[in-house]
């Protein structure tokens, strides 16, 4: 297994603060070599934006959204401007956010042509009595909240439209096979397009209102997988699967094979294990191993607990993520995972 360095650590920007713990990921998948630098630069930019937001008075949820805004606006990543086309040639976006003190959550799925679905998920959490809106209803809500849809071409790279056109011309063969074939080399999908990653953030902010002294936050966003069925929803917006935060357990953001992460309820599983006393890094790795053993699935996960311990592990060839300088040292494990642990300061 190889490890994608998250960034060239800068102690001025990628450091712990007294009141914030933070990890950002840009997807776990078979990232092509020519995109490694762009992924490293993108997750570092998102991390720096989140820290800057916090240092300027932003809340924990503001921090999460600040990082996701950067990732959704960067066509390198499978979210926002880097989204894929479904079988009908449309972009469908999913996102979810959660706060761990009150367990408030907001999510959207199957919304078309909005650059920042995570912002809309936050509006669902803060402006409605609901936790999850989908499709046309979510789009109507987004526009009532002031979010403006973009032309579809603004969210898809022209090269991917070319590959999609070739897929249509070929009669829509199996998407998993076609989009990983030499015919689709211009697509940023790697060998397993159905297991393409997403983007996400976990954060802990010091809080006198939380029993642990910290409030946890998580957010995840995706632009889908190439050629997916219209209406398909993976783990990303599902509370307890691709995103979860509980001050009594852990904040979690997942990336990778959505169907598998859904089936094992990855986020809630990790949080429950941490609540029961399992170290967060061990809980993350065990979940990845269970996904591999039970479903032959691959993924990456970032998480943190209410003591500020950080974990980032993956079973895919690469994962892009950023965190505090001095902490992101890859530790090779026999099971093929890389873990990030908080050091003693």
The torsion angle over the Cα atoms of residues 74, 330, 16 and 246, rounded to 10 degrees, is 80
- Count: domains in the chain: 1
Q: Which helix H or strand E contains 62, and what residues bound it?
A: helix 60-72
Task: Give the pLDDT score at 302.
Answer: 94
Regarding predicted confidence, which is higher, 31 or 159?
Answer: 31
Within-domain flag for 166: yes
pTM of the model: 0.88
Within-domain flag for 4: no
Q: What length does the chain have?
A: 345
Within-domain flag for 202: yes
Within-domain flag for 70: yes
**Contact criterion met (CB below 8 Å) for 215 and 60:** yes
**SS3 sequence of 136-190:** HHHHHHHHHCCCCCCCHHHHCCHHHHHHHHHHHHCCCCCHHHHCCCHHHCCCCCC
Q: Is 13 a catalytic residue?
A: no
Share of the chain above pLDDT 90, in %: 59
Identify the domain containing residue 263 by its residue range: 20-339
Please write the tens of the pLDDT for every residue from 114-162.
Answer: 999 999 999 999 999 999 999 999 999 999 999 999 988 888 877 677 7
Residue of 17, 128, 198, 315 marked catalytic: 198
Strands 93-99 and 318-322 turn out to be: unpaired
Within-domain flag for 290: yes
**124/145 Cα distance (integer angstroms):** 10
Would you call 277 helix, strand, or coil by DSSP?
coil
Within-domain flag for 34: yes
Residue 81 has pLDDT above 50, yes or no: yes
Q: How many CB atoms lie within 10 A of CB 302?
A: 30
CATH code, domain carrying 110: 3.60.20.30
Residue 332 has pLDDT above 90, yes or no: no
Lowest mean pLDDT segment, chosen from 66-75, 157-166, 221-230, 271-280:
157-166
Within-domain flag for 14: no
Span 248-259, mean pLDDT? 95
Within-domain flag for 297: yes
Task: Give the pLDDT score at 9.
Answer: 36
């Amino acid at each position: 297994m190889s490890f994608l360095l998250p960034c060239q650590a800068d102690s001025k920007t990628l450091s712990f603060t007294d009141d914030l713990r933070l990890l950002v990921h840009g997807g776990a998948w078979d990232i092509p070599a020519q995109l490694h630098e762009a992924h490293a630069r993108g997750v570092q930019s998102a991390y720096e934006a989140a820290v800057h937001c916090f240092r300027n008075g932003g809340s924990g949820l503001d921090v999460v959204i600040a990082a996701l805004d950067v990732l959704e606006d960067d066509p390198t990543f499978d979210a926002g401007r880097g989204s894929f086309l479904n079988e009908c040639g449309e972009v469908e976006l999913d996102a979810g956010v959660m706060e761990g003190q009150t367990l408030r959550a907001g999510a959207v799925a199957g919304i078309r042509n909005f650059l920042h679905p995570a912002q809309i998920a936050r509006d669902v959490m803060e402006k409605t009595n609901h936790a999850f809106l989908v499709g046309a209803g979510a789009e109507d809500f987004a526009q009532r909240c002031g979010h403006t849809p973009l032309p579809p071409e603004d969210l898809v790279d022209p090269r991917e439209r070319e590959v999609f056109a070739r897929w249509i011309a070929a009669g829509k063969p199996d998407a998993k096979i076609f989009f990983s074939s030499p015919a689709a080399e211009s697509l940023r999908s790697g060998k397993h397009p159905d297991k393409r990653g997403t983007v996400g953030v976990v954060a802990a902010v010091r809080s006198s209102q939380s029993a642990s002294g910290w409030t946890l936050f998580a957010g995840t966003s995706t632009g889908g997988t190439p050629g997916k069925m219209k209406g398909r929803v993976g783990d990303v917006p599902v509370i307890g699967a691709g995103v979860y935060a509980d001050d009594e357990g852990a904040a979690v953001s997942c990336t990778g094979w959505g169907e598998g992460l859904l089936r094992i309820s990855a986020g809630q599983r990790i949080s429950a294990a941490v609540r029961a006393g399992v170290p967060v890094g061990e809980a993350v790795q065990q979940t990845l191993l269970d996904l591999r053993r039970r479903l032959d699935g691959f993924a990456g996960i970032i998480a943190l607990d209410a003591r500020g311990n950080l974990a980032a592990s993956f079973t895919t060839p690469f994962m892009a993520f950023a965190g505090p300088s001095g902490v992101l040292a890859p530790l090779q494990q026999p099971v093929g995972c890389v873990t990030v642990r908080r050091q003693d300061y």
